Amino acid sequence: MAQVTATIASKVGLHARPAATFVKAVAEKGVPVTIAKEGGAAVDASSILGVMTLGAGFGDVVTLSSDADGADAALEELKALLETDLDA
Say which of 5, 9, 15, 75 is annotated catalytic: 15
CB-CB contact of 63 with 5 (8 Å): yes
Please state, in angstroms and rounded to a whole number, the distance separating the CA atoms of residues 75 and 88.
Answer: 22
Q: Is 9 considered catalytic here?
A: no
Asked whether 10 and 87 are in contact (CB, 8 A), the reply is yes
Angstrom CA distances, 25 to 8, 40, 58, stand at: 15, 22, 19
Where in the sequence numbering do the catalytic residues fall?
15
